[in-house]
Homo-oligomer: A and B are copies of this chain.
Amino acid sequence: MRTRPLKVALLGCGVVGSEVARIMTTHADDLAQRIGAPVELAGVAVRRPSKVRDGIDPALVTTDATALVKRGDIDVVVEVIGGIEPARTLITTAFAHGASVVSANKALLAQDGAALHAAADEHGKDLYYEAAVAGAIPLIRPLRESLAGDKINRVMGIVNGTTNFILDKMDSTGAGYQEALDEATALGYAEADPTADVEAFDAAAKAAILAGIAFHTRVRLDDVYREGMTEVTAADFASAKNMGCTIKLLAICERAADGGSVTARVHPAMIPLTHPLASVRGAYNAVFVESDAAGQLMFYGPGAGGAPTASAVLGDLVAVCRNRLSGATGPGESAYAALPVSPMGDVVTRYHISLDVADKPGVLAQVATVFAEHGVSIDTVRQHGRQDGDGEASLVVVTHRASDASLSGTVEALRKLDTVRGVASIMRVEGE
């Protein structure tokens, strides 16, 4: 074993960074054995230098992250600051000064992955980011390496723990969205400003990263259709139950049936209770992968949290350090397939539509005609009058598979019918 240590610069020492530092210290001997050389924490960049940080030598702490990555003797930079800047500039500076990089930064990777990979390649360095998607769950490496000889057709997952916690609460207790969100906030599962989670920005970033790796194609954040889960209601859960389903916020990356294009989207959807993703509880994450040869695989585990995320960061750190010792680099960006990313209108799936309609004869015929005219074939319809006898009824339509564009056209036309008082909800049905 080499005795001269590899030097690691830690950028950020918050929820994730503090756990990275802790494990680097407590597991130092194991890491050295697994890498083939000791690793040494050479510096820790933070915003607030005076904050007391357990187990961190204060002499290592600096607010000058740029100077740290420019030192020139750093082997690996671990970026766990988050956000776009200064993280982006620090990472490219690190490459330019001879370091490889491990990052947990999904927002940055989804937005600028291609440029960062290009910078890594230019300098012959590694860029690893297992922690950026689904926290502790080994996912990037299995998709990129274990399935490298296979053809992935679909990746469908629960990749945001906060929203899964909220939806699980709504499902199990009948609570409404706000009540479940309040509980998630009180328990620390949701941040004070939950926008990134509940509006699915976080999940969309992960979908872009996953689609890129699965399909060997650059998928930009803008290519990902995104719909949050703030409008999911207790009534939706009741409808889902009627169908033997539950509701999950899913990130879905698909290859079109003809193989010539791909789509990526994030939205709430009904899935059958028998689907493995339906039983993913609380803040857990799980990702279902379908490929030509392997068939159906699922990866399950904690999607966030300091220690779990640090586990993924450290797995990358070991790999990057090993590469450094052997003079090799791991697999970089693979975008050779360069498939077109189709818009949401091209996505084909099933739909569950609840309509408020006038309670009189002929309405069903009218509604059915609109579906037929738009080429959307109906699987089942349930019609029931309201208890309050206000002359309104509910109509629940479940369709066969149809394109999102056809469905949108159908809904637009339905809204124009006099007898349709409102479209109460539209929910996609997946995983059947």
- A positions within 8 Å CB-CB of B: 19, 23, 27, 30-31, 33-34, 130, 136-138, 141-142, 145-151, 216, 276, 279, 291-302, 305, 307-308, 310-319, 322-323, 326-329, 331, 334, 336-337
List, in ascending order, chain B residues with CB within 8 A of A322's CB: 331
Chain B hits for A30, CB < 8 A: 151, 216, 337
Asked if A294 and B298 sit within 8 Å, CB to CB, the answer is no
Q: What 7 A-B pairs have minimum CB-CB distances, sorted nearest first? A: A149-B314, A138-B146, A328-B328, A293-B311, A136-B294, A138-B142, A297-B301
Q: How many copies does the complex hold?
A: 2
> In the bound complex, do residue B334 and residue A33 qualify as a contact, i.e. CB atoms below 8 Å apart?
yes
A315 to B310, CA, bound (A): 26
- A291→B322 CA distance, assembly (Å): 22
Contact B327 A149 (CB under 8 A): no
Q: Are B327 and A328 in contact (CB under 8 A)?
A: yes
- Known A-B contacts A142-B142, A151-B27; the reply to A295 vs B307 at CB < 8 A is yes
- Which residues of B sit under 8 angstroms from A328, Cβ to Cβ? 323, 326-328
6 more CB-based (< 8 A) A-B contacts, given A23-B150, A299-B300: A31-B149, A147-B311, A150-B311, A294-B311, A297-B300, A322-B331
Known: A142-B142, A300-B300, A329-B326. A216 touches B308 (CB 8 A): no
Cross-chain contact of A150 among B298, B315, B319 (Cβ < 8 A): B315
CB pair B293–A145 under 8 Å, yes or no, is: no
Name the CB-closest residue of B to A307. B293
A138 to B143, CA, bound (A): 9
Q: Is the CB of B315 within 8 A of A147?
A: yes
